[in-house]
Each structure stands twice: as C-alpha cells, then as structure tokens.
Chains A and B, each alone.
Chain A
Amino acid sequence: MEALIVFLPLVGALVAGFGGRAIAGHKGDLFAQIVSSGLLVLAAIFAWITFINVGILAHDAADKAYTINLLHWVAVGDFAFDWALRIDTLTAVMLVVVTSVSSVVHIYSIGYMHHDPSIPRFQAYLSLFTFMMLMLVTADNLVQMFFGWEGVGLASYLLIGFWYKKPSANAAAIKAFVVNRVGDFGFALGIFGTFVMTGSLGFDAIFAAIPGIVEGGDAGQTFQFLWMTLTPQEAITCICLLLFMGAMGKSAQLGLHTWLPDAMEGPTPVSALIHAATMVTAGVFMVCRLSPIFEYSETALTVVTFVGAMTAFFAATVGLTQNDIKRVIAYSTCSQLGYMFFAAGVSAYPAAMFHLFTHAFFKALLFLGAGSVIHAVSDEQDMRKMGGLAPHIKKTMVMMWIGSLALGGIGIPGTQIGFAGFFSKDAILESAYGAHTGIGMFAFWMGIAAAVMTAFYSWRLLWMTFHTPARADERVMAHVHESPNVMLVPLYLLAIGAVFAGVVFAPYFTGHHFAEFWGDSIKILEEHKALENAHHVPVWVKMLPLVVGIIGIAGAVWVYRSGLERGRRIGEFWGPFYQFSLNKWYFDELYNFLFVRPAFAIGRFFWKRGDGQTIDGLGPDGVAKTTAFAAGRLSLLQTGYLYHYAFAMLIGVVVLVSFYLLAH
C-alpha cells in the first residue's frame, strides 16, 4: 500500500503526460484530468490510512517505523544503499499533507485551467511533482532524499515556467532553479561530508554512528574541510550547516528566499501545492528528519533558530506593503516557514511539523482562494484594482476569511476553541519561550512581531480585495462571477482542514504524549526541553499571540476601512521604511549588483572577447578565413600557361635536390 501511495502519482503523470491524447483522442484533456486526479485521491486515501495506522493506532516499535525495500540501488564497496520506503510518523504526516493537498489541487486545476491549451502537460507535471515529493519524504537514505529533492526542484522549474511564452515566467523559473542550486550545493556537500564521517548514507546507520563520533570514539580524529581542521564536534556542526543550506534554498529562508515571490509567475494551483504546502516545507522536513544529527550541534541549532526568526520577521515586513495578491501570500509563506525553522532550532521539532501540517491546509486554502478571486476578476492580480468583491463572490470570500483566521492564529487560549494556526503557532511561540535560551527569546519576540504583521497584512488583503469600494473598471466588474463547484469544493475541503486540523491533532502532535506519537522518528536530547516547558509557560505568553493578532487585525481594518487613501498616506509618512519594505529590503537589487550583473559581465566577456574574438577569431573563424584566402591564392598559381607549369616542376626538382644536399 505504501508503494502504491508513492507510485500512483507517477503512473498518473505518465498516463496523463504521454497517453492522454493517444488513448482518449480529443477528450484527452478530460481524460488526463480524471486519471491524474483519481489516482491521487486514491493515493490520499491510502496515505490517511497509513497515517492513522502508524501515527495513532500503532504502539509497537515495529509498527511505528518500518522500511520497505524496493530494490538495491547502488552497491560500490562501502558505498551501498537501497531504494526503500521508510515509513514512520514523520513520513506519514508528510504523506498525508502531500497527497491531500495535491489531490485537491489536482481537482481544483480542472476548473482553473480549463481554458489552457496544454492541460495534459499541466496535470502530468503536477503528478510528477507529487511523485518526487513522496520520494523525498519516504527516503531511507540521503541519496534517495536528494533524488526527490532535485526531482521536486525540476517539477517546480517546469511548473513555474509552465506558461513558457511569458518571458517573466521563464525568468522566474530560471531564478528558482539557480537559487536552489546554491542551496543544493550545500546539501550535496553535506551528504558527502556525512558519508566521509559515518561511512554510510542510510539514515539508520548515520543516526547510530553520530553519538559515537560526538563522544570521541576515535580519540584525536579530525576532519578536513577547506582550510580548516575540525574536531568531530565541529565536523558535525559543519555538516549540519551545509545540510541546512540546502534546506534554506528549498524553503526560501532569508538570503535564499528571492526565488519564492517570483515563483508566483506559475499558475495559482502550482503556488498552492508547491510554493505553499509541500515543496517549500521540504527543508523543515529535512531538518526534522535529520534531528538525530542536528541535536548534537548547539551551534547549528542556534543558526537554524536565528535564520528562521529573521526570516519570519523579514518576510512579514515585506508582506505589509505588497500589492500583488499572490505575492502577499508568498511572503506570508516565507514568514511561516521561518516560524517552522525556529521551532526546529529550539528542538521543538513536533511543533515545527505541526505547523507544517496545519499551514499546508490554510495556506493552500488562501492560495486557491486567491486563485478563485483572480479567476473572478479576469486574471487581475493587483489588489489596488480589486475591491468590492464581497457581494459578488461570497463563497470565496468566506473561504478567504477562514484561511486568514487560521493564518492569524485566532483562537481562545486555554480552551480547545481555535483555528488550525492557533494551535500550531502558539505551540511554536511557547516552545521558543520555553527554550529558556537567549536565542529562544530572540525568536519568541521576532515571532510576536511577525504575528502582528501577519494579522495586519492578512486583513489588509481581505479588505483591499473584498470590503473596500470597487476599483476595477465596469467591464471587469460586470464579469465578476463565482467560481464553479469544481473549484469551490476543494476550497471547502481545505477549509475543513484549516478549521479542525489544529483542534483534532494538537493532542497527538504537541500534546503531553507527543513522544508516543512521534516514536523514534524524531530525536530530542534530554537537555532540550523546549516543548515540555511550552506547556508550563506564564499566562501572558499564552495570551500575547492572540492580543497582538487582534491588534494587527484592528490596525488593518482601521487603515483600510474606507479605501486605500489612508494606507497611502501612512506609506508616505513612513517614506524610507515604506520603500524599504515595498522593495523587499532591496535583496534583489543587492543580488543583482553582487552576483547577477558580475556573472553576466563575466559571461559576456568570455563569450564576446574570450570565445568570439579570441577562440573563434584565432581558431575556427581565423583558420577558415586563412584557408579560404590560401585557396584563392593557390588557384591563382594555376595560370594555365604551360611554361609556368614546366618551371614549377624544375623548381621542384631544384628544391628537392638542394633540400637533400643541405640536409646532409
């Protein structure tokens, strides 16, 4: 059954991609949609069964974590590993997230993409992505994980650039690929380093070897990295940081985040599936999966916390001022990923995974809702040209409200009442506080600041879109319509998740008995008690997120209650800060200046000067020119006069004779 979960999407991708029109003729589009969606729904059902079996029902160690070997993949001396499916609670959670969101996105796409001329290709890419993502989360060793990691990168590239006739889409696709390459470089180095240190690539073997290395199994053992000589402890830190670099790229953390907002060039279902719910969370998953390594490096954990907290804060500030509806949500995603990372950084991996789980539902809901809005206003994405949509698309509006409430983390502390985000986000903030470390406190306050802004930009989005007076022209307004049921039903399903995922699963994921639920899939050292302490934080810590959330909401409503004018004036008042936020802290400009333009300049130099003028000029072109010139000259020699020919022969004899005489 576990193998079916993984491979049904692949079958869907192949059938939809290659077989659609061949099997079903002119109905190929519909066929591709039904086959790929149907197979994914099936996979999702199996995933839920697996999740309940492994996570909730099972109590024996053997049932909580097992490995299904598919085949021997590589066997070269010590360098040996299988292609296997590792099933434990961590994987099961990811299976549920991936297949659930993916199947609703598949169904939603039937409606959203119905004008598109290449539907089978789209469905095939979506299914291919799902397969790769499942490959990543079921990996039993680092290489298989890397395979899935690169596979989702490929699918992401293909889907961002799906409308390949749009130059901006192509640029965004390339940007996503290149920025991820930076992270993947670190990830690959981390994998090499792990192999060097532990002599293995399988997770079980690595995890078993790490404690021994830390305690100095081989006294005086050192490792070389660049110019540095590292003790075992430092080497583990080094590996963790390299692996985290991969996670930063994939999960768009501060520094390597620039690709994510641009990735919104892809179709909206893609943004929901890949750039909100699943692929971008792969970095979080990776850190949690490798918790048995990260746990042994305080330095690495501190870095993870710091980067996560900074990202949460940074992305929230940028989200405040963006005008493209999808970009707001994209920065929100970036910010929420920051939350997950700093949770992992304080060793509250369950909280990180819980937020990953709930976030998948409400963020996919927000994206698909945004898609529904965009669909309604004739593909307009700029919120300044929306407004007044509430009466026309009520159902979509309600869905967006639910998504925003979940994102804002609204709920009543101390009770079991609240949206999904309430449970997971509070768990994270409380864990950060409960870590009782300096960096934990830093993360906590950054998280609180981000929470205010999250609430603000979410309600700014709601008001600008639905509740302010209409700003679109009449033609667009006349055409505003509610989306068809094939798009709305997926929204309802996600809304159920956004409302109930928190309350139902909180006791399992982060409750008092979280250790039973997670089994051995997550390792937390004894001295890291952030999550346990989270249950015993002061009341003000429990109340603060809600309070700041309400402040944020109130602020947004106050500013935008009667239109954009007040917002504009506030922006002018805060001039430089407003510009700083609007221009995303000038990261793109900085990178353009530091990397992109020098790279282009170097490239152009080598191309024009190096290749064109020097190599081609002296090489192929020059030689060809010389040859053609010589050919012309040589045929001039062929005068046709007999005495010239005879003369040439005699000269030849003279030359040969003198050549001989001189040579001796």
Chain B
Amino acid sequence: MMFETSMIAPALPEIVLACSVMGLMMVGVFSPEKQALSRVSFLAVLVLLVIGVLVIATGSETRLALHDLFVVDSFSLFMKVLVIIAAVLALVMSDGYIRRESMARFEYPVLLCFATLGMLMMISAHDLISLYIGLELQSLSLYVVAAFRRDQLRSTEAGLKYFVLGALSSGLLLYGSSLIYGFAGTTNFAAIASGLAALDHAPTGLIVGLVFLSAGLAFKISAVPFHMWTPDVYEGAPTPVTAFFAVAPKIAAMALILRVMLGPFEDLIAEWQQIIWLISVASMILGAVAAIAQTNIKRLMAYSSIGHVGYALMGLAAGTKDGATGVMLYMAIYLVMNVGTFACILSMKIKDRMVENISDLSGLSKTRPGMAFALMIFMFSMAGIPPLAGFFGKFFVFRAAIDAGLIWLAVIGALASVVSAFYYLRIIKVMYFDENDDVIDKIDGKSMRVIMILTSALVLLFTLAPETIASYAASAATSLF
C-alpha cells in the first residue's frame, strides 16, 4: 500500500489535534500542580484556535481521505468552525468557574479537546464506522466531564445517567448500523447511496436500521422521545459543562444527522421524512410546554434546547437545500444565543452560590442593568421576536418547511413558539418587574463581559445583514446535495 499525502491531508487538522491533545496531557502531568491547569487551559485554547485556522486552510473543496472514511467539504468546514468556536468559548467561560468551585484539574481542558476532536470526526464522517468512532470519542469525553465534580452527588448522578443512557443509545445506533450493513452490504456512505439508487424499493430491514440509527443520533441532539436525560444532566452537571453540552455536541450531532439523512439515505426521503416530522413536532411541543413548569434556569435551558432542536429538525424534514441551509443557520444563531445566555448565568452569584433559580433574577434590571439588558436580548431572540437573530433562524426553517409543503409542521411550530414565548418573557418579567430581595454579586471577568457584549451585539445586529451569513450557509449546504 502506497502512502500518499493526499490520503491524509484533508484530515490534517484532526490529526494535529489528536497529537496536540496527547501532548497537552503530558504538559499537564509534568507541570507543577499549581500551574498545570492554567498552562493547559491556555495551550488548549491556543491549539483549538490553530486547529480552526487549519480547518479553514484545508479549504471547502470536497475531498475524501483515510480510505474514504473521511470527507472534507464546505458543509464540514462551516460546521467545524461553529464547533471550534463553541469549544473555545466554553473553555474561556469555564476558566473562572472551575477555579472557584474546586474542580481545578488540568484534565478538564484536555477532555474538552478530546470531545472536540470527536465532534470534528463526526462532522467529517463518511462511513458508518468513522461515524461511530467519532461519536464514541465525543461521548466518552462528555460522560467524564459531566461527572467532573466527583464530590458532588448531583454531578456524579448526571454523569452516570448520561453514561448509561448514552451506552443504550450507542447500542441502538450500532444495531441500526449492522442492519444497514446487512441489507446494503457496505458501510460507506457513497456506496450505500449508489446501492439505494439502484433499487426500486428499499428493503424494510434497511428502513428499520435507519430508524434505529436515527434514534441513536436523536439521543445526541436530545430530540423527543430520546430527550429524557437532558434536563437531569443539564441541571446536575457543572454550569460551564452544561454550557458546552448545550452548544457544541448539538451542532456536531445535528451536522451528523444532516450528513447521514441527506447523504446515503437521500433517496429514502419519503421514508424518513415522516419520522423526522414526528420527532420535530414532539420536540417543539414538549420543549415549549414542559419548560413552563420549570423553576431552575438550567433545566429551563434544557427544555429550551429541546425545543430549538425541534425547530432545527423542521429544516431537515423539508429535505431541501433551503432546509439544510436553515438548519445550519439555526445552529449558528443558536450557538450565539446560548453562549450569551450561559455567559450571563455564569457571571451571577447570589449569597455565595451560583444563580440557578429563575426567582434569583428578580430585580436584576436595577442591580445590574447591563446584564439584564443582555439577557433580555437573548430571551427575546430565543422567543423569536424580530428583528433579533433568533427570528431569522426560525424564519429560514419555517420558510423551507412551507416551501416543501409541510404547512402543518410550520403551523405547529408557530404555535409552539407562541407557547415558548411565555417562559422566555417570564424571565424578562422577573428581571424587570419583580422586586429583589438579595443583591446579586458581580463576578469579575473581562472575558465574560467581552463574550456577553459580543454575542448580544451579534444577536442585535444580525438583522442588518442576514443574507451574508445565510449565503455562507447556503453555499455550504450545496455540498450535501
């Protein structure tokens, strides 16, 4: 077998990342205990930024690598950039927290980097095997991170739950993959696609395999009915971990679903469209309704993310290029809104504990008007109020769904977003109209403030040029078709 650079060149960023992460571990181990964390954190951010540059440098031309297990194209470029941004921001945001809350161990940034590596692999998967490897690498890192506060019951419980259920979902996914392999005779995406194209009628076993596969993937994006872990894990995990969970893995898993559904199984759209439709509707409704009863802001964000996934899936259900564009755009905007919201949550403290209850926010507009304003922007945006970014995210997927003839899906989505507006607006109401009993302490952190200002500015100003980002997403989506 000849060794060719072209065979590995497209995967270079991932390879570099893998080596660097192992290097980081060495740095951590051999550094003095007190400096280990800050040194590794700094290096991790640096490494991720370098990887980001490498990803962009690799280009958007469609290329296969590693014996067709791995693909690079404009779609993967777009999603990878989002994931790296999410990972970098999560690392920056958790810095202060992990020091204060006695979880200052250098393994934290390392694990996050491993998870990121897994996500990049997922996004570029071009084979059921590489899909699984990426997914597992990501998941295993996340299980550990979720339980990172070993001394705390809630955190360990969250980690354990996530692990057990994750293992179950991996089982479903693997079972589905084996069914597909059994009926298609191959694990390669391109080969499955061409095999299916040759068939008049897809075998039922293959479809059942696809359902199992989608169930495994739906677990990762916490779509209903595979969402049950989400509120518990979000609540139990340390807050910066929750922030990371809420963003990066969702983007990666969503990319994977897009890649699988619109790649090898594109011809079966009539079959999977209904399944995605069902999942989307269930997620939107549950995300909207169940959140109303929540008092914990992290649980609320969990249901909110379930709802958002439902909206994003609406674009996938459309199964068109516009739909894929909508999903990508939605995830990008979702990233900004969530990072901003968690930056707010992470920089508030009340009576020496982190702010976790919605009622803790009362009177925030008087004690910390700037933060209240930023949080208000994010809430309005999540509720989908024009002219904020969140509105455009919804607008693109709704339009795609309507163009694809899924009128009822759009109607249900609109209704669900009305219901969900209730709990977003309630937060604003609590901040602006309720009296405060306890003063919320300020947590200093320049980086936090920068993130907050940057994200809220993006949300506010997106309306000025929605088409620029949308055109990036649209050109990225072309490589899926």
Interface positions of A (Cβ within 8 A of B): 627-628, 630-632, 634-635, 638, 640, 642, 644-646, 648-649, 651-653, 655-657, 659-661, 663-664
A635 near B294: Cβ-Cβ < 8 Å: yes
Closest residue of B by beta carbon distance from A658? B211
| CA of A627 to CA of B287, assembled, Å | 12
Our pick among A635, A640, A642, A653 for the contact of B164 (Cβ within 8 Å) is A642
Our pick among B207, B215, B422 for the contact of A652 (Cβ within 8 Å) is B215
| CA of A285 to CA of B292, assembled, Å | 65
Residue of B161, B164, B292, B422 most packed against chain A (CB within 10 A): B292
A649 near B165: Cβ-Cβ < 8 Å: yes
Residue numbers in A under 8 Å from B279 (CB-CB): 656
Residue numbers in B under 8 Å from A655 (CB-CB): 225
> Size band of the B side of the interface?
35 or more
**Beyond the given A627-B422, A653-B212, A656-B275, could you list 4 further A-B residue pairs with CB under 8 A, ordered by the A residue number?**
A631-B290, A652-B215, A653-B215, A657-B208
Residue numbers in B under 8 Å from A661 (CB-CB): 204
Task: Tell me whether B231 is interfacial, beta carbon within 8 Å.
Answer: yes
Q: A652-B215, A656-B275 are in contact. Are A644 and B289 (CB under 8 A)?
A: no
Task: Tell me whether B219 is interfacial, beta carbon within 8 Å.
Answer: yes
A646 near B289: Cβ-Cβ < 8 Å: no
Residue numbers in B under 8 Å from A640 (CB-CB): 232
Our pick among B271, B274, B286 for the contact of A634 (Cβ within 8 Å) is B286
Residue numbers in B under 8 Å from A649 (CB-CB): 165, 168-169, 172, 215, 219, 225-226, 228
Contact pattern, B 204-218, Cβ under 8 Å of A = 1, otherwise 0: 100110011011000
Chain B, 322-355, CB within 8 A of any chain A CB: none
Residue numbers in B under 8 Å from A664 (CB-CB): 271
A663 near B225: Cβ-Cβ < 8 Å: no
Interface positions of B (Cβ within 8 A of A): 160-161, 164-165, 168-169, 172, 204, 207-208, 211-212, 214-215, 219, 224-226, 228-229, 231-232, 271, 274-275, 278-279, 286, 289-294, 419, 422
B289 near A630: Cβ-Cβ < 8 Å: yes
| CA of A61 to CA of B160, assembled, Å | 104
Residue numbers in B under 8 Å from A632 (CB-CB): 293
CB proximity of B170 to chain A, nearest CB, Å: 12
B292 near A642: Cβ-Cβ < 8 Å: no
CB proximity of A648 to chain B, nearest CB, Å: 5
Residue of A630, A646, A656 most packed against chain B (CB within 10 A): A656
Q: Give 16 pairs: A residue, B residue, CB < 8 Å, sorted on A.
A: A627-B289, A628-B293, A638-B228, A638-B231, A638-B232, A638-B290, A640-B232, A642-B164, A644-B228, A646-B165, A649-B165, A649-B169, A649-B219, A649-B228, A653-B215, A656-B275
Residue numbers in B under 8 Å from A634 (CB-CB): 286, 289-290, 293
Closest 9 CB pairs of A and B: A652-B225, A645-B228, A631-B292, A631-B293, A634-B290, A635-B293, A653-B215, A630-B289, A656-B211
CB proximity of B327 to chain A, nearest CB, Å: 20
Closest residue of B by beta carbon distance from A624? B422
Residue numbers in B under 8 Å from A653 (CB-CB): 172, 211-212, 215
Q: A627-B419, A649-B225, A649-B228 are in contact. Are A656 and B278 (CB under 8 A)?
A: yes
Closest residue of A by beta carbon distance from B285? A630
CB proximity of B103 to chain A, nearest CB, Å: 23
Residue numbers in B under 8 Å from A652 (CB-CB): 215, 224-226
Residue numbers in A under 8 Å from B292 (CB-CB): 627-628, 631
Q: A628-B292, A634-B286 are in contact. Are A657 and B211 (CB under 8 A)?
A: yes
B contacts with A: majority SS: helix
| CA of A653 to CA of B217, assembled, Å | 12
CB proximity of A169 to chain B, nearest CB, Å: 36
| CA of A646 to CA of B219, assembled, Å | 11
A659 near B278: Cβ-Cβ < 8 Å: yes
| CA of A168 to CA of B250, assembled, Å | 66
Residue numbers in A under 8 Å from B275 (CB-CB): 656, 659-660
| CA of A562 to CA of B78, assembled, Å | 105
Residue numbers in A under 8 Å from B274 (CB-CB): 659-660, 663
Q: A634-B293, A638-B231 are in contact. Are A646 and B168 (CB under 8 A)?
A: yes
CB proximity of B451 to chain A, nearest CB, Å: 31
CB proximity of A614 to chain B, nearest CB, Å: 20
B207 near A660: Cβ-Cβ < 8 Å: yes
Closest residue of B by beta carbon distance from A647? B228
A645 near B289: Cβ-Cβ < 8 Å: no
| CA of A254 to CA of B207, assembled, Å | 84
CB proximity of B372 to chain A, nearest CB, Å: 25
CB proximity of B224 to chain A, nearest CB, Å: 8
CB proximity of A644 to chain B, nearest CB, Å: 7
| CA of A634 to CA of B279, assembled, Å | 16
CB proximity of B79 to chain A, nearest CB, Å: 25
Residue of A631, A640, A655, A657 most packed against chain B (CB within 10 A): A631
Q: A627-B419, A660-B207, A661-B204 are in contact. Are A645 and B165 (CB under 8 A)?
A: yes
Closest residue of A by beta carbon distance from B232? A640
Closest residue of A by beta carbon distance from B279? A656
Closest residue of A by beta carbon distance from B288? A627
Residue numbers in B under 8 Å from A642 (CB-CB): 160-161, 164-165
| CA of A612 to CA of B317, assembled, Å | 40
CB proximity of B456 to chain A, nearest CB, Å: 29
Residue of A630, A649, A663 most packed against chain B (CB within 10 A): A649
Q: A642-B161, A646-B168 are in contact. Are A656 and B215 (CB under 8 A)?
A: yes
CB proximity of A52 to chain B, nearest CB, Å: 63
| CA of A632 to CA of B422, assembled, Å | 15
CB proximity of B277 to chain A, nearest CB, Å: 10
CB proximity of A618 to chain B, nearest CB, Å: 15
Residue numbers in A under 8 Å from B161 (CB-CB): 642, 645
CB proximity of A626 to chain B, nearest CB, Å: 9
Residue numbers in B under 8 Å from A646 (CB-CB): 164-165, 168
| CA of A597 to CA of B226, assembled, Å | 60
Closest residue of A by beta carbon distance from B291? A631
Residue numbers in B under 8 Å from A657 (CB-CB): 208, 211-212
Q: A657-B208, A659-B278 are in contact. Are A651 and B290 (CB under 8 A)?
A: no
CB proximity of A638 to chain B, nearest CB, Å: 6
Q: A627-B289, A642-B161, A645-B161 are in contact. Are A660 and B225 (CB under 8 A)?
A: no
Residue numbers in B under 8 Å from A660 (CB-CB): 207-208, 211, 271, 274-275
Residue of B161, B211, B291 most packed against chain A (CB within 10 A): B211
| CA of A631 to CA of B289, assembled, Å | 5
Closest residue of B by beta carbon distance from A644? B228
| CA of A631 to CA of B307, assembled, Å | 14
| CA of A653 to CA of B207, assembled, Å | 12
Residue numbers in B under 8 Å from A627 (CB-CB): 289, 292, 419, 422
Residue numbers in B under 8 Å from A630 (CB-CB): 289
Residue of B225, B231, B271, B286 most packed against chain A (CB within 10 A): B225
| CA of A628 to CA of B288, assembled, Å | 11
| CA of A628 to CA of B423, assembled, Å | 11
Residue numbers in A under 8 Å from B271 (CB-CB): 660, 664
CB proximity of A647 to chain B, nearest CB, Å: 9
Residue numbers in A under 8 Å from B289 (CB-CB): 627, 630-631, 634
Closest residue of B by beta carbon distance from A626? B289
| CA of A661 to CA of B169, assembled, Å | 21
| CA of A627 to CA of B207, assembled, Å | 35
| CA of A661 to CA of B208, assembled, Å | 9
Residue numbers in A under 8 Å from B232 (CB-CB): 638, 640
| CA of A219 to CA of B341, assembled, Å | 78
CB proximity of B232 to chain A, nearest CB, Å: 6
CB proximity of B162 to chain A, nearest CB, Å: 10
| CA of A640 to CA of B290, assembled, Å | 15
Closest residue of A by beta carbon distance from B226? A649
Residue numbers in B under 8 Å from A656 (CB-CB): 211, 214-215, 275, 278-279
Closest residue of A by beta carbon distance from B224? A652
CB proximity of A272 to chain B, nearest CB, Å: 50
Residue numbers in A under 8 Å from B172 (CB-CB): 649, 653
CB proximity of A488 to chain B, nearest CB, Å: 57
Residue numbers in A under 8 Å from B224 (CB-CB): 652
Closest residue of B by beta carbon distance from A628? B292
